[in-house]
Structures are given as C-alpha cells and as structure tokens.
C-alpha cells in the first residue's frame, strides 16, 4: 500500500500510544490514516497523473483534559516517533478555563471495508488513463465548437484505524472515485461550458461505465450555454433543481446546524430549535450511512458509528449535528459527525450526505404556477453564513420562467436570501422520482476540505437572483 | 542532503537521465479558540515528503511522471521511482525543457521569530488576540485560530540545479459577533502573512470589531447600477483568477485567453505585474517549484496587455523563457505531492494617487464593499457574483447605511454576449485607485472603484 507499516502494525502502534496516554489524561484517542490513489487530469495540452491532494497519510494523537484538546501528528509510521509524541502531549497543561467532562461511550470493535464493484487499486494507472482519454476524445469529437475539454479522474482509498482509551479499536477502508468532465464551447467570441461531476463511495466502474450519451448531454449543454443570456437581477420566485437543493440543504442550512457553531454561540438557528421554520412537507437529513454516498463511512474520526439524523423534520428544527465535545457540552448524543480533513488538521463537526426528502409536487406543476420566475440548474458552489443566516448559492445555468412556461436559457447565476426567509417561502417540494444526489467537497469556512454528498428534489421558494 | 543523495543513488542505478527531486519538511503549531477559551492546542504536526519527476522524450512529445514518498527506505524510494517512470511512459505533454542552473534573486520569505520558535509565536499572538478582544464590550469572538508553519524545501535536477529555501507562514481566522435585541452580525476575516509582525492585530482588531458592530444595522441594497469601491480583500481572489489566469501561456496554447499582446484590455490607469520577488509575498520565492528563478513580469501597463507568463513546459512549447511561474498548487505542507502547473505568483496592481478618503469624497453615490461571502470569479468567462457580507452605502461622499445581503456581479474582463454584443469588463471601468494598498492572499492591490456595477437586491 503506502510507505510504512501494515494494518496490524498500525493497530499496535496506536495501542502503544494510547497506553502511554491513558493514565495521564481524562481521555485520548489515536487515528492512523493511510491513503493511496491516483488523480488524472487531461485536456488538449496535458495529461497529468499524480497523487490526489487528499492522499495524505499520517497519525494524529489527541488527548483531553479539563475541557481542552491537545494534539500532535506526524507523517512518520515509526513506532518510536509516535510514542515520543504521545509522551510529549501526555503531561500537557490545559490553557482552557472551562472544565467540561467528556461523555463516556461504549467501546466497540470493527474491521470492515465499504465494498465497491471494482477496487481502484486493482486497476493499472494506464487503464485509468485510457478511460480518461476515451471521455476526452468522445467529448472533443461531438461538435466542432468544442475547443477544449478537461477530464478529471480521481480514486482515493482511505484506510483509517482508530483506538481510544475507552477500549475501541476500529478499522475501515473506504474507496471513493470521481469523474469530472468539462467541455468548453466557443462560437464567435463567446466561450461557455457546462460540466459533469459524478462518483462517490464507488470504484473504477464510475468511469468505465460512464455512457457516451451522458458525455453527449454534457457537450450539448455546453453548446446550449453559448445562446444563454445574463440572468435578470432582483427578487423572484425560484425553482432549484435537486443539485441546487442539496447545496442549499448543506451550505445554507446544514452549516448552521453543526453543534460546534451552537456552543460557540455562532448560529442563527438557536432561537428556532424545536420550532416550525418551514411547511410540514419539508424535511432535511444528514446521513453518513447512505450506501454509495460520497460522505459515507462506518465510523467518524472519533469512533462514533455513522447514522441518519433528521435536522429539520416536517418543517420543525429537530436536532443539531454533534461530535463528542459539543455533545458533552450540550448533553446530547454524538451523531457521528466528527470528521477531520487529515492528520494535518483539527477535527470539527462536519456533515456527511445532506439532502431534502421528497414530497408530492411534479416539476410541471411548480412551473405552471409561476408567472415570473427563474429556475436554477446545476449547482456550482455555496457559502455558509452560520451566524447570520445569509445564503449564497451559485448555479452554472438557469431558465427564465414566464407565464407558466420555461423560457430563455441563462448562464451562471447567484441566489441569495436570508435562510429562514427562504425556508419559510418554500411552498412546493418534488416527488421521489426526481431525487438525485451530487458529490462535493466541503470546507469548514475557508479550509478543512472533506468529501460530502448532497441532494434532494426540485423545490420552489423566493430569493434574490443575480449573475454568478 | 541525505534524502537527496539516497534518491539520486537509485536514479543513477536505474540509469534515469532526466529528473527532478523536490524535498519538503514542514511543521505546524496551532491554537484554536472557542469564544475566549482555548479549545485545542495542536503541535508539533510534522509532514515531510519528497517527489521525483521523471521526464522521457517521445516522438515529438514528452512524457512526465511523478512519484511521491515519505520514507527513505530503498524499497520505498524504488516504488516512488517506478510510479514516476510509469507516469512518464504513459503520459503525453507538448514539450518541456528542464531548468538549468541560474543565479537566484534574494527575496524575503521567512520570519526569524517564527522559524526559531513557532510555538511561542502562536501562544503570544493568541494571548494578544484574547487581550485585544476583551477591550470590546459589544463584540465577542465566536471562534478563532492561529497557525504557524515552518517549511524548508530543496530542489535538485538532472541539469545541476540545486535550490534551497526556508519559509514561514502565519494564518489567522476569526469570527467576531455583534448582537443586539435579537439581531446578529458578524465579521469573519482571514489573513495569511509571512511575518508575525504583519498580523498587525493592534490595528486590525478595532477595525474588525467596528465592521461587526456596524453590520448590526445593515440593510439589503436595492437593485441598481452603482459606483462600487472594492476593498483589497475582495480583490484578492478576483484579480489572480481573471487577470492572472488570462495572462498564462497555457491559456494562449489552449485558445481560451482573452488577451493579445498590445491590446487595450483595461482602463488606461491600470498597471498590473506578476511579481514573484515581492518581499514577504505569499507567492514569493527565489525560485519556482521547478527550480527556475522567479521574476517580475509586467502583465498590463496603462491598460495595454504586455506579457504572458510561462513555466518550463509552456516556455518550451511557446518558445519563450520561463518566467518562473511553475507552482505546486497545494497547501504549503503538501506541495511536494503535486505536479507543478503554470500559475501567477503575486498579482500586484500599481497603486493610484488618491487616498481612500478622497476616493470616498469623490463618490457621490455608491457602495463600499469590505467583504463578500466568497468573492470568486469563473476564470474562463470571468463572470462573478457574490453576496454582500460587510459593506456600506456611500451617500454624498460619505459612508452611510451598512449593507448586508443582495449581490454584486459582473464580468472582470470584456466578454462577448450571445447576440454578439460585448459586455465591458470591470477592469475597463476603473474610475480610481488609492495610494493605500494591502496584501490579500496572492494579490497586492489598492482599493479600486469601478463604475456602473450591477447590484441586485429586493
């Protein structure tokens, strides 16, 4: 696998470190991550094959005393170095002035792999590159107006081993694979593009089974955007496609439900807890146990089992998402949302797969009832505002809706609104057959990027639209 | 140098002719705050690694492969070289000329204080931050983090390049909350600097707390076209991603650059450099990540496009000298694992003649934006749009009502519309630049006022 020790040696190394820490601190845990993978990016000039940015291997030790964490980490898989780090942090003097007793959890054992159809590690890099070339050639040959295409492929297999002073010893192996395709179209002086991004807890089949018709649809969408006009500016009735709905659920709503923001006194959602925010058909979940989800795992980075958590149920703000520290402070259960980017970064409350559950409106019904509105399609990004409940969502394309019909195509839109106002304005939620998910990378603010999924169905509300 | 020699020994044994080696050793310390309390102390967190690139000429093409490793055991080095060699066998690039030994310019990129004791710097800055924040009676921190890095890097290649540097970084992120009668407002700044003294907490904290307080009274703007003053922080991503992007030789080769040499691409008072030798700039270094000397390149002079940027690949392909812009674009303690790509170093906008006060006084009506939600532009189309987080209306030459919500949008560069009409980009609508300038990420820029900017609100 990677440079360093075997899985069993890793477990022994973590057990040694825990042995050094257990008599010195209230609680300690150790996480060893070993990652392998490949990233390929191709366009008309370059074929770049390298390690993915998330292929970061190392060990982090974490000790807890009187309300404060003390961490140290190393890239080295030397048992001697890890023991030295454990001794270094074992005697730490907390600077915290708030003593909080960490809740105890029952120890458990696990050694499992989230299986995929074709393990990426069993496929040669050359075969992966050949598939990337297939996608590139296919997109480039569709239409003369395609002047360049960027194809990205990445597979990352993460093996995380966890041990703590409560006696847990866990190991999970999670392969994730993703494909990105961006055909760039030009006609006259106008350039635009759409893109395809797919994958999750999956293997090489993500690229191998990608059908030509999907590539053609992405090319057609890029070419279609050459006719797009700039979006109108102002406050409109809007329809969000399932991807945009997912970005709303995650970025705009979910970040305010992360309980570390509650204990920091940094969430606009505190006054809404237990209260109705939206109509009764609106439910939003975060679920780290979804099969195939990009944000799925068996246990989080502090050894808590993943599960489905309703944050908004039938329009009512039902619960927040927790790691162990926030749960201890708020006398709640950990929800399996303690995640870290790698051993180089701190653990925070993080989402997993976040989505709006389906209801009963068809897309046609939503459109027919709009006199003057905008539909936003294909999410690009979103930005959270956990304290003040602002919202920023960007979509790659959209459509004007006039007198109940879909009108001209629009390129690159931004949607903004106060989140409680937007939630209160939602009056239509799509049906189960519309349900779709997207893969993404989530930052906690401006850094700490982790793999997540989001999704949902078409929803209708009111917000400010502008160019993106 | 032991790791260099260990890797070179195996390269010689395997008779590999063209290669470069990048070795990095990084260490970080960090303190994270929850309100005024320390939630976590982290460090040392060390990451050291190396990568080897192998270059193999092919029929009219070049193969380039990279392997990375953390261990110097011979079998692990061999595995790294195997990965690089396979990569070189299977990939195709249009060209590459390995950098040759040259003299490097001197540029300051390290803080002695951080280099000698990063842990103490982080603790001292945290105490100073806590103390300064306690002076405010109305604004509280919700969270904060201060993190220091020390990094040493060495590059060797088969042409004889031997480059070595030590650098430091200090990062602060802070969320400041103002609350009154159920209303909540925030100012959420981030800053990365090379030197501890450049954090300037004494000056910054009063300014940041005032922004949080003022935002309590904020309203959303109306939909309108307006004069808008962009603070340096808002331009820190927008300019490198647009002006910088379209000055890359790679965008010329791929047929997507909006610039041609000699064209009028911006307002006549706009001059922009790529300056890889700017002292304490975040993109500064004596040499780029391929071992080519970094330099200062005029990109736009008085609105006219002057030069493109090159790395070793696009310099070879487009028959130009590398300007030292081959960058490994990953977080600083993971750069060794990335392939270099052509990127701007520091985008520097030449300051103007007026003060910020004079700029405000000469703005009858408009908007001053201190911070967007996430000011990012699409590099290809240069379209941008972002929610206003901290801004003010300007009325009769003075800052008046604070603004939050709504959006500001436009194209940074001239753009073609679907019906053949042209949209004039923001950099062609510059009506003023200040004497004052700041470093915002990899951009050093004055405050810039743009005319007729689209504002969207209720």
Given CB atoms, is A6 within the 8 Å cutoff of chain B?
Answer: no
Given CB atoms, is A449 within the 8 Å cutoff of chain B?
Answer: no
Q: For residues B165 and B244, state if they share a domain.
A: no
ipTM, two decimals, is 0.94
Distance in angstroms (rounded) separating the CA atoms of residues B287 and B322:
11
Chain B interface, mutation test: which of A28, A88, A344, most B Cβ atoms within 10 Å? A344
Looking at chain B, which residue has its C-alpha nearest residue A268? B184
Residues of A whose CB is below 8 A from B339: 48, 50
Q: What value does the mean pLDDT take over residues B304-326?
A: 97
Q: For residues B258 and B283, state if they share a domain.
A: yes
Q: What value does the mean pLDDT take over residues B278-303?
A: 98
Residue B40 structural domain = 2-215
Given CB atoms, is A173 within the 8 Å cutoff of chain B?
Answer: no
Distance in angstroms (rounded) separating the CA atoms of residues A198 and A221:
16
Residue B215 has pLDDT above 60, yes or no: yes
- Of B170, B186, B215, the last residue of a domain is B215
Q: For residues B265 and B414, state if they share a domain.
A: yes
Tell which residue, A48, A93, A459, has the closest CA to residue B311.
Answer: A48
Q: What value does the mean pLDDT take over residues B106-110?
A: 98
pLDDT value at residue A99: 87
pLDDT digits (tens, 9 = 90+) for A305-319: 999 999 999 999 999
pLDDT value at residue B421: 77
Looking at chain B, which residue has its C-alpha nearest residue A230? B417
The Cα of A324 is separated from the nearest Cα of chain B by a number of Å equal to 13
pLDDT value at residue A44: 95
**Percentage of chain A lying above the pLDDT 70 cut:** 99
Look at B376 and A343 and tell me if their CB atoms are within 8 Å.
Answer: no
Residues of A whose CB is below 8 A from B41: 68-71, 92, 95
Q: For residues B316 and B458, state if they share a domain.
A: yes
Q: For residues B234 and B262, state if they share a domain.
A: yes
Q: For residues B37 and B91, state if they share a domain.
A: yes
pLDDT band at residue B18, thresholds of 50, 70 and 90?
A: very high
pLDDT digits (tens, 9 = 90+) for B365-404: 999 999 998 888 999 999 998 989 999 999 999 999 999 9
Tell which residue, B41, B393, B82, B114, has the closest CA to residue B229.
Answer: B393
Query: Tokens 């650059």 identify what position?
Result: B257
pLDDT band at residue B345, thresholds of 50, 70 and 90?
A: very high
Residue A148 has pLDDT above 70, yes or no: yes
Residue B83 has pLDDT above 70, yes or no: yes
pLDDT value at residue A1: 38
CB-nearest to B254 from A44, A234, A346 is: A44
The phi and psi torsions of B327 (rounded to 5 degrees) equal: -120, 140
Q: For residues B133 and B246, state if they share a domain.
A: no
| DSSP codes, B389-442 | EEEEEEETTEEEEEE-SSEEEEESS-EE-TTS-EEPPGGGSEEEEEEEEEEETT
Q: For residues B264 and B121, state if they share a domain.
A: no
Q: Check if the beta carbon of residue A148 is closer than 8 Å to that of residue B256.
A: yes
Q: What value does the mean pLDDT take over residues A151-159?
A: 97
pLDDT digits (tens, 9 = 90+) for A2-13: 455 678 889 999
Query: Which two tokens mark A89?
Result: 């942090």
Q: For residues B200 and B303, state if they share a domain.
A: no
Looking at chain B, which residue has its C-alpha nearest residue A35? B69
Residues of B whose CB is below 8 A from A349: none
User: Based on the structure, what is the number of domains in chain B?
Assistant: 2
Q: For residues B133 and B225, state if they share a domain.
A: no
**Interface list for B 77-96 with A (CB within 8 A):** 79, 86-87, 90-94
Q: How many other CB atoms are found less than 10 A from the CB of residue A292?
A: 14
Distance in angstroms (rounded) separating the CA atoms of residues B18 and B157:
8
pLDDT digits (tens, 9 = 90+) for A419-450: 999 999 999 999 999 999 999 999 998 899 99
Q: What value does the mean pLDDT take over residues A195-214?
A: 97
Length of chain A: 468
Residue A96 has pLDDT above 90, yes or no: no
Chain A interface, mutation test: which of B74, B90, B182, B220, most A Cβ atoms within 10 Å? B90
The Cα of B260 is separated from the nearest Cα of chain A by a number of Å equal to 14
Distance in angstroms (rounded) separating the CA atoms of residues B343 and A325:
41
- Of B215, B234, B269, the last residue of a domain is B215
Given CB atoms, is B383 within the 8 Å cutoff of chain A?
Answer: yes
Look at B417 and A76 and tell me if their CB atoms are within 8 Å.
Answer: no
Question: Which CATH code fits A7-227?
Answer: 3.30.2290.10
pLDDT value at residue B416: 80
Chain B interface, mutation test: which of A30, A75, A408, most B Cβ atoms within 10 Å? A75
Look at B90 and A94 and tell me if their CB atoms are within 8 Å.
Answer: no
Q: Using DSSP, state whether B124 is helix, strand or coil.
A: helix
Given CB atoms, is B142 within the 8 Å cutoff of chain A?
Answer: yes
Look at B380 and A193 and tell me if their CB atoms are within 8 Å.
Answer: yes
pLDDT value at residue A97: 82
User: Average pLDDT of chain A?
Assistant: 95
Q: Please list, residue by residue across A250-273, b when 16 or more beta carbons sit within 10 angstroms of its beta carbon and e when fewer do.
A: bbbbbbbbbbbbbbbbbbbbeebe
DSSP B105: P
Q: For residues B444 and B428, state if they share a domain.
A: yes
> Residue A308: exposed, middle, or buried by beta-carbon count in 10 A (0-12, 13-18, 19+)?
middle
Tell me which of B433 and B59 has the higher pLDDT: B433
User: Average pLDDT of chain B?
Assistant: 95
**Interface list for A 261-280 with B (CB within 8 A):** 261, 263-266, 268, 271
CATH number at residue B162: 3.30.2290.10
Q: Check if the beta carbon of residue A165 is closer than 8 Å to that of residue A28.
A: yes
- Of B185, B215, B245, the last residue of a domain is B215
Given CB atoms, is A394 within the 8 Å cutoff of chain B?
Answer: yes
Q: For residues B158 and B296, state if they share a domain.
A: no
Domain residue extents for chain A: 7-227, 234-467
Beta bridge partners of B226: B453
């Amino acid at each position: 696998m990677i440079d360093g020790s075997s899985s069993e040696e890793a477990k022994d190394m973590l057990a040694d470190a825990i042995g050094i820490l257990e008599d010195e601190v209230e609680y300690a845990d150790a996480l060893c991550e070993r990652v392998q993978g490949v990233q390929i990016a191709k366009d008309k000039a370059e074929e770049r094959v390298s390690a993915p940015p998330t292929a970061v291997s190392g060990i982090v030790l974490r000790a807890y005393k009187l309300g404060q964490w003390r961490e140290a980490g190393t890239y080295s898989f030397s048992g001697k170095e890890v023991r030295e780090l454990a001794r270094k942090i074992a005697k730490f003097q907390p600077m915290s002035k708030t003593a909080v007793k960490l809740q105890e959890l029952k120890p458990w054992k696990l050694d499992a792999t989230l299986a995929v159809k074709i393990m990426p590690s069993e496929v040669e890099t050359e075969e992966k590159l050949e598939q990337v070339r297939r996608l590139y050639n296919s997109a480039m040959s569709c239409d003369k107006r395609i002047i360049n295409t960027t194809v990205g492929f990445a597979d990352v297999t993460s093996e995380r081993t966890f041990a703590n002073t409560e006696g847990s010893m866990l190991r999970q192996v999670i392969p994730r694979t993703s494909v990105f395709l961006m055909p760039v179209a030009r006609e006259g002086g106008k350039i635009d593009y759409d893109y395809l991004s797919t994958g999750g807890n999956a293997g090489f089949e993500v690229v191998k089974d990608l059908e030509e018709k999907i590539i053609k649809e992405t090319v057609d969408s890029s070419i279609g955007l050459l006719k797009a006009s700039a979006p109108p500016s102002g406050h409109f009735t809007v329809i969000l496609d399932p991807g945009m709905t997912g970005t709303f659920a995650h970025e705009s709503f979910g970040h305010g439900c992360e309980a570390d923001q509650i204990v920091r006194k940094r969430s606009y959602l505190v006054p809404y807890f237990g209260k109705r925010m939206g109509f009764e058909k609106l439910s939003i979940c975060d679920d780290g146990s979804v099969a195939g989800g990009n944000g799925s795992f068996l246990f989080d980075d502090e050894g808590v089992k993943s599960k489905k958590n309703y944050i908004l149920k039938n329009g009512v703000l039902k619960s927040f998402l927790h790691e162990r520290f926030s749960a201890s402070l708020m006398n709640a259960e950990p929800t399996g949302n303690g995640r870290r980017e790698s051993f180089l970064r701190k653990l925070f409350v993080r989402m997993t797969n976040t989505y709006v559950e389906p209801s009963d409106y068809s897309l046609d019904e939503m459109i027919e009832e709009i006199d003057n509105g905008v539909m936003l399609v294909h999410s690009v990004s979103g930005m959270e505002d956990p304290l003040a409940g602002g919202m920023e969502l960007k979509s790659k394309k959209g459509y004007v809706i006039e007198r109940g019909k879909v009108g001209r195509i629009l390129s690159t839109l931004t949607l903004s609104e106060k989140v409680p106002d937007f939630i209160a304005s939602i009056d239509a939620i799509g049906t189960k057959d519309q349900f779709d998910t997207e893969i993404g990378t989530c930052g906690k603010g401006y850094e700490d990027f982790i793999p997540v999924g989001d999704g949902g169905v078409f929803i209708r509300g009111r917000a400010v639209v502008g160019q993106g | 140098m032991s790791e260099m020699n260990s890797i070179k020994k195996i390269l010689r044994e395997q008779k590999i002719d063209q290669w470069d080696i990048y070795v990095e050793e990084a260490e970080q310390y960090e303190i994270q705050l929850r309100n005024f309390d320390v939630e976590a102390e982290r460090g040392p967190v060390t990451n050291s690694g190396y990568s080897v690139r192998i270059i193999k000429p092919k029929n009219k093409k070049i193969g380039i492969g990279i392997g990375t490793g953390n261990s110097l055991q011979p079998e692990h080095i061999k595995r790294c070289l195997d990965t690089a060699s396979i990569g070189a066998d299977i990939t195709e690039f249009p060209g590459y000329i390995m950098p040759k030994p040259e003299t490097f310019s001197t540029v300051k990129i390290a803080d002695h204080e951080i280099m000698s004791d990063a842990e103490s710097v982080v603790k001292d800055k945290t105490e100073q931050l806590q103390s300064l924040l306690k002076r405010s009676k109305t604004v509280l921190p919700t969270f904060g983090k201060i993190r220091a890095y020390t990094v040493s890097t060495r590059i060797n290649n088969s042409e004889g390049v031997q480059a070595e540097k030590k650098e430091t970084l200090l990062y602060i992120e802070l969320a400041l909350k103002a609350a009154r009668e159920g209303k909540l407002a925030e100012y959420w700044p981030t800053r990365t600097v090379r030197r501890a003294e450049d954090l300037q907490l004494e000056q910054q904290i009063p300014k940041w707390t005032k922004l949080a307080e003022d935002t309590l009274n904020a309203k959303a703007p109306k939909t309108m076209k307006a004069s808008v003053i962009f603070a340096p922080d808002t331009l820190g991503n927008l300019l490198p991603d647009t002006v910088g992007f379209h000055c890359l030789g790679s965008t010329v080769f791929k047929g997507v650059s909006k610039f041609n040499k000699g064209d009028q691409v911006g307002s006549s008072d706009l001059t922009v450099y790529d300056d890889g030798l700017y002292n304490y700039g975040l993109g500064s270094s004596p040499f780029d990540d391929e071992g080519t000397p970094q330099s200062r390149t005029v990109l736009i002079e008085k609105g006219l496009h002057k030069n493109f940027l090159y790395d070793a690949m696009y310099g070879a392909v487009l028959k130009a000298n590398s300007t030292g812009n081959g960058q490994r674009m990953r977080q600083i303690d993971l750069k060794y694992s990335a392939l270099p790509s052509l990127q701007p170093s520091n985008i520097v906008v030449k300051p103007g003649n007026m003060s910020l006060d004079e700029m405000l006084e000469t703005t009858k009506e408009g908007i001053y934006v201190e911070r967007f939600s996430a000011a990012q532009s699409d590099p290809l189309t240069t379209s941008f749009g972002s929610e206003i987080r901290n801004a003010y209306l300007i009325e009769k030459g003075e800052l008046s009502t604070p603004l939050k919500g709504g959006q500001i949008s436009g194209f940074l560069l001239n753009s073609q519309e679907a019906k053949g009409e042209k949209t004039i980009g923001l950099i062609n609508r510059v009506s003023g630049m200040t004497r004052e300038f700041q470093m915002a990420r990899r951009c050093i820029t004055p405050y810039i006022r743009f005319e007729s900017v689209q504002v969207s609100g209720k």
